[in-house]
Structure 1
């Protein structure tokens, strides 16, 4: 009901306020009309206005003034207020509101308190001073350190300490033979700052619990450096078999000689302590360490680390004897066998390494020990890190197949090798692939994986040798032949690459890939006649459309227009649905200036390939060049009807309108395009660039929501950051674009141009190397540059620099918007 009446109540209140203001106007409102007339006053009239004076009645009355002397009481009170108070009233209220008890002899003289504090401070300074020949010297550093070490304890902490002290006192009294109680009590006093009390408590704990090593260790910790040795000596006397106490006693000694003496004394009482033996061996020189380890393995024969340490210190023959004794004592210890294999490898007995590992597996299995494949692979990696490559290979060879089903071997071994590769264990991965290839000789995928490993981490020779083996065992695998030839070509050995491809012909006489690889080898090395002969043979053998296309490319580069046209026409008779031949023929006619013929070619092509977008775009561009925008617009409209939801066609239409200054038509087309293709990155990128500068941020936000991982959108956002001089963000987004789509050369050109402007030599070199490694093939501007006849043999680096120059001829990203 209240909410329903609220509107009426507010309206009524508003009417009452207006009525009141109408009946009681403010003074400013009463004189508003007069104030408005002040505008018409002249300067003389303003100056003639008289100054206002004080016309109040109180000034007109005659004030009666009288003067009388100040009374003595007032003067006495003023004197008392001005003097310093040096005493406290015994009856004064304390801060808590209670009277000070009379029984506690209150301090009533504040002057005495101040003098007492000065006396105490002077005594402290005298105690810290050193009087030398009448001069008093105070160490300011020590004095300040002493002041810093003072602990200010709150009331709450004091209360907690008192409770804990009472509790621990009860513990130590009711159960004095309980060591943790004494330790806790001593540590409480240490925290409270009463170190002497803590030492006394822990001393009582040592007396009550003389056989507990923790109490003695705590007493040693709390004792002063001079007394610590005496404390630990009493502890060792009370518990001569405590390893911790002997190690602590050795730690308190300063020189290695004294430490060694203490540890040897401990070994007299505890000869089977491995920790003491390790500690004393670490302090000894090589000769003494060998003697000590001989004694150590006698006292601790079941500890493998002592045996292995002794074997490392001995000569080859003695080390073999030591390891044989260790095997007798520890027949189930794999580390001894692995050390033996490493020993053989270190002494050049390469044949014995594999035998030792084989024998170790058999012996351990005979002893009933389960061979853990994962653990042995880790041992192989450890052997690789130690430099024992043969031992690593032998371990892999003999253990990689244990516990793996036959049908799972290939998948499991490849996975193992990839994991080792990730961890940086290249030799282990290489050994796994070698074993896998010995089992699966004809598996092309394993050969490719192994070749990839050699390419990344091996040498050129090792890669070539591996590929030679691969093609020997798999003569029908054309990818291995091609990879082998390409590696030789990249190494600069063109005759060897040519020889490999000739071998490939013999194995695969009908392989089109081999023929095209041979053509590319000759074509890229400026041997057009050889390339022409190869393609002619390939056509005679019934080559596919790619052979005809490559043949036409060769003739185009050589400038043989008639031969090029003849090849293209023959190829189209055989392969009328291959759009690239149509495109090449139309581009050739356009290049020669035969616009009508080119248009006829494109129209014929679209009858055979109505869904080919490049053909539609080429025809639209040709119509725009010959007959203007209206004809081009009609072609693109027809293309969109036959190929709906195609972003490239919409983008071409938008750009055509922009080229002719029709901004409104372009915006309308782009809006329709985004309705039909809402997740198209190229359309959203165009939308970001077309909107006015203030709206680009909002538009880019919408684009990222629609297609977050599209490289075109990411590159457009990077341009925005570039405009705003946000260098780090622009670099990050450009890097993301080339990472998402390394095959698009336009992004690499944009990234390289950015680094040329804002980066240094290192960043520019990094982008250049990454682009060369990626070998981009696509991109609107990139393809226009790479497909040009004059650029047919240029390297990726040269093409990238040409693309940057082409970008520079367009709008500069840092230029202001028109």
Structure 2
């Protein structure tokens, strides 16, 4: 017994049942590694803190009594009555650091706000363009419903199930949703049950028509419907829908958290009851907390007042802002807001208090002046303000505007003494002074502000206004020297803009002087030509004609042997200048560049257009001396004589040209002249002679064949065209003329073979494909051969606007719009496609759109006469005479040379002397009205 008792005492240790000491790790001495979990350490604490389980029960009880964390002791803004953070050390240094970090974050956010909001708007716009609404996608189809007739409406088939009936199981389960009226009646009847019998007819007969079946999802063990689960399911479904609406593609919310508050500015409710009351209450509580936390913060008072103003509580807003003036008496924003909210009679008293607290505030004085009604009171306010703030340019300018000219001059004299660095005040004083005094004023201004260029420019404009033109260039030159000595950078773009402004103010001499002084600044010698031409074109696009003229004049003075500059200057004068200025420029141009044929031709044409034929002959005579063997000058002389019915002189000139400067074009013009004059035999003779020398010139073969057709020799014409295709296989018009000759003779099969042979020798030529398509349409408009050829042609020439334009009107009316969209995707900037789209809008009676597309067409290719003729016909039929006359003038100015119908008309022998304004109506009559 004693032995057993000693055994028990030996086994029982004194530490058994006690908790382990702090930091104890079992087995640490034998190489074990200890670890600690969150449950061991609890919330953040130091390593030396005593574990909670070592605390006495009394200590825990005391702590629990100190912090009452019940819900009744919780406030939405101030937290628990015994704050959980009350024991945390939060000193003034921490508060200051938090304020600094907050200010930095706010500043960084403001710097990126505009860029971020712009990027957000661009992303939203791009998203809406890529994924338009269903309403936008079907807009064209909805417009097309206007063309549906009543019979078509009545014959619309009923909507039904198009599946095979044998695949449908008539005995399948059918589901009937529970109507909301059943739940409403249950509530109104005071039913206390949470479930209903699905077969109960009291609730509208919601049982399914098949025995034993019940609505899926509503089956319970008792066969009833659990209405609580139905409500939870509806809430879940609503949450899912709201989440989908608020998220964009890729699941990211499209609302920018940084720019959200700024976007809300456009959503401020206009009345007191139009906003969300809960949001207003939250905002009011937040602003109240800010005011109470930091009553010296002006934006809090202003925001609180504006919130009350927006919600319609104007008196409350006034009371709040007046309290703000008491708390922030040195904030001009608060005072200005108070004056704005107050009535007119009380606002003056508020501004008076503001002036007493802030006598140096310019904005407060300006508000005080605005509240005054008559000019006399305003003057008095401004004079008091200038006594307090004599160096304010804004106050001086506002005060001077109220005075008459004499008093304004006196005040400006005083203002430049108080504000000697204000350029505006100096210039205003100079405008009111006499010529001599204005010069003295500007001299003083230059001494006070030696780095400002506008003073020098105004001094030059002053001299020009008093006809002292010699001083203008001197002043601008001195300005350059003075500004450079004061380390001012001379920027060409800035000075060119100043020159444009001088031109706008009718100071042309100053404009020219500025251009001469700065146009070469910082430009390398090898880049001068291109840079100056670009500058002149930019000024022309801005409407600064004199500035561009000055740039061209300076460029020509520095580079007199550059033909390109002379040509640009001549085109500029022809468009924006007078005939005298153009001819004066061309005189100097022909002297500086006598080998430039185009300058001589422009000079002669200018004289000819002015009906001065003798002067035009004199110009061409001088051109012959400078360029004795020039083909262009010979042909220009021939055209001059033939247009003025001097046919004998024209024939002699052509004969001399064939001797002195024999070229294929000279022979062609000789044949053309004899043909136009009716001497076909002489024309054939000259043509044969020309083909003996130039048998690879395709136009001679074409003229030879057309002469034979004119004389009725179709077989000889066929031989000429055939020989021409052998000598000139790349001449597409020759193949087309030969094909049309065979077609007129009734040999349609041979015409097809000729075009096919031409396509083999000239692949990927859209004109040959187009002619083949038109041959088939002329033979039989209803067959499908033309459509097959069109499909092949678009495969061979996928970017041909000519073929796409033909394809649009080969479709039915319902398919034309789709074809036009495809054409625009392939050939967006092709004039033929744009013209076809214009005619398509014309057929749809969309006159405004048709006019816009006609404008795009003629601007894109003004050399296409068919576009001008179609546009002119549209204006004649659907617009007024004034619009049609403008189109004719624009066409005459453009002088078109191309277009299928235009070339056929202008190159007709019977129309060889007609001008553009005479050819346009003829081509217009040939244009078919689209249908």
Please report the TM-score for the alignment, with normalisation by the length of structure 1. 0.75
Does residue 333 of structure 2 align to residue 333 of structure 1?
A: no
Deviations 1:488-507 (A, max 9, x none): 22233332222222221121
- 1:298 corresponds to which residue? 417
2:550 corresponds, among 427, 431, 441, to: 431
- 1:167 corresponds to which residue? 289
Deviations 1:399-446 (A, max 9, x none): 122222222222222222221111112221111111111111111111
Query: Match of 1:472, SS?
Result: helix
In structure 2, what is the Cα distance between the partners aligned to 1:277 and 1:191? 36
Structure-2 change in CA distance of 1:754 and 1:458 (3 Å): same
Query: Match of 2:863, SS?
Result: coil
- Aligned-residue offset at 1:233: 2.4
1:793 corresponds, among 901, 913, 924, to: 913
Query: Match of 1:565, SS?
Result: helix
Does residue 724 of structure 2 align to residue 602 of structure 1?
A: no
- 1:504 corresponds to which residue? 623
In structure 2, what is the Cα distance between the partners aligned to 1:571 and 1:396? 54
1:743 corresponds, among 841, 844, 863, to: 863
Structure-2 change in CA distance of 1:647 and 1:496 (3 Å): same
- 1:287 corresponds to which residue? 406
2:609 corresponds, among 490, 493, 497, to: 490
- Aligned-residue offset at 1:191: 5.1
- Aligned-residue offset at 1:393: 1.0
- Aligned-residue offset at 1:793: 0.7
- Aligned-residue offset at 1:350: 0.4
Does residue 398 of structure 2 align to residue 249 of structure 1?
A: no
1:680-699 alignment runs, 5 A limit = 680-690=800-810, 696=816
Structure-2 change in CA distance of 1:243 and 1:813 (3 Å): closer
In structure 1, what is the Cα distance between the partners aligned to 2:581 and 2:409? 42
In structure 2, what is the Cα distance between the partners aligned to 1:645 and 1:341? 64
2:345 corresponds, among 199, 205, 226, to: 226
- 2:120 corresponds to which residue? none
Structure-2 change in CA distance of 1:251 and 1:705 (3 Å): closer
- 1:440 corresponds to which residue? 559
Deviations 1:214-246 (A, max 9, x none): 343333334332233233223323333332222
CA contact (8 A) 2:654 2:670 kept: yes
Structure-2 change in CA distance of 1:480 and 1:672 (3 Å): same
1:564-579 alignment runs, 5 A limit = 564-579=683-698
- 1:759 corresponds to which residue? 879
- Aligned-residue offset at 1:289: 0.6
- Aligned-residue offset at 1:694: 5.5
Please report the TM-score for the alignment, with normalisation by the length of structure 2. 0.67
Structure-2 change in CA distance of 1:533 and 1:246 (3 Å): same
- 2:706 corresponds to which residue? 587
- 2:583 corresponds to which residue? 464
In structure 2, what is the Cα distance between the partners aligned to 1:658 and 1:216? 84
Does residue 905 of structure 2 align to residue 775 of structure 1?
A: no
Does residue 632 of structure 2 align to residue 513 of structure 1?
A: yes
- Aligned-residue offset at 1:673: 4.2
Q: Which shows bigger deviation, 199-208 or 238-247?
A: 199-208
Does residue 468 of structure 2 align to residue 346 of structure 1?
A: no
Query: Match of 1:348, SS?
Result: coil
- Aligned-residue offset at 1:638: 3.6
In structure 1, what is the Cα distance between the partners aligned to 2:328 and 2:662? 98
- 2:278 corresponds to which residue? 156
CA contact (8 A) 2:284 2:307 kept: no
- 2:767 corresponds to which residue? 648
2:385 corresponds, among 252, 266, 277, to: 266
1:316-331 alignment runs, 5 A limit = 316-331=435-450
Query: Match of 1:308, SS?
Result: helix
Q: Which shows bigger deviation, 344-353 or 484-493?
A: 484-493
CA contact (8 A) 1:171 1:181 kept: no
In structure 1, what is the Cα distance between the partners aligned to 2:725 and 2:467? 73
In structure 2, what is the Cα distance between the partners aligned to 1:693 and 1:237? 80
In structure 2, what is the Cα distance between the partners aligned to 1:684 and 1:185? 65
- Aligned-residue offset at 1:313: 0.4
Larger helix fraction of residues: 1
Deviations 1:590-630 (A, max 9, x none): 21112232233233333322332222222333334447334
CA contact (8 A) 2:594 2:626 kept: yes
Deviations 1:688-716 (A, max 9, x none): 44555555555555555554444444444
CA contact (8 A) 1:310 1:322 kept: yes
Q: Which shows bigger deviation, 705-714 or 614-623?
A: 705-714
CA contact (8 A) 2:755 2:772 kept: yes
In structure 2, what is the Cα distance between the partners aligned to 1:634 and 1:205? 96
1:366-405 alignment runs, 5 A limit = 366-405=485-524
Deviations 1:555-587 (A, max 9, x none): 112222232122111111111111111211121
In structure 2, what is the Cα distance between the partners aligned to 1:16 and 1:374? 81
Query: Match of 2:724, SS?
Result: helix
In structure 2, what is the Cα distance between the partners aligned to 1:281 and 1:486? 59
Structure-2 change in CA distance of 1:276 and 1:702 (3 Å): closer
Does residue 432 of structure 2 align to residue 313 of structure 1?
A: yes
- Aligned-residue offset at 1:355: 0.4
Query: Match of 1:530, SS?
Result: helix
In structure 2, what is the Cα distance between the partners aligned to 1:693 and 1:185? 64
Deviations 1:324-365 (A, max 9, x none): 122222222222111111110000100000001101111221
1:536-555 alignment runs, 5 A limit = 536-555=655-674
Structure-2 change in CA distance of 1:653 and 1:410 (3 Å): closer
In structure 1, what is the Cα distance between the partners aligned to 2:845 and 2:619? 53
Deviations 1:758-780 (A, max 9, x none): 23223322332332233222333
In structure 1, what is the Cα distance between the partners aligned to 2:503 and 2:435? 21
- 2:525 corresponds to which residue? 406
Q: Which shows bigger deviation, 479-488 or 718-727?
A: 718-727
Please, which runs of 5 or more residues in structure 1 have no aligned partner? 1-9, 19-147
1:31-46 alignment runs, 5 A limit = none
CA contact (8 A) 1:606 1:615 kept: yes
In structure 2, what is the Cα distance between the partners aligned to 1:627 and 1:196? 97
Query: Match of 1:576, SS?
Result: coil
Please, which runs of 5 or more residues in structure 2 have no aligned partner? 1-162, 172-269
In structure 2, what is the Cα distance between the partners aligned to 1:600 and 1:524? 34
Query: Match of 2:866, SS?
Result: helix
Deviations 1:713-749 (A, max 9, x none): 4444544444444444444444444444433333333
In structure 1, what is the Cα distance between the partners aligned to 2:319 and 2:168? 89
- 1:419 corresponds to which residue? 538
In structure 1, what is the Cα distance between the partners aligned to 2:655 and 2:785? 51
In structure 2, what is the Cα distance between the partners aligned to 1:759 and 1:193? 54
- Aligned-residue offset at 1:209: 4.3
- Aligned-residue offset at 1:198: 4.7
Query: Match of 1:610, SS?
Result: coil
- 1:216 corresponds to which residue? 335
CA contact (8 A) 2:271 2:311 kept: no
Deviations 1:358-415 (A, max 9, x none): 0111122122322222222222122111111111111111112222222222222222
In structure 1, what is the Cα distance between the partners aligned to 2:788 and 2:287? 85
In structure 1, what is the Cα distance between the partners aligned to 2:280 and 2:842? 63
Structure-2 change in CA distance of 1:369 and 1:540 (3 Å): same
2:904 corresponds, among 781, 784, 789, to: 784
Query: Match of 2:390, SS?
Result: coil
Number of corresponding residues: 670
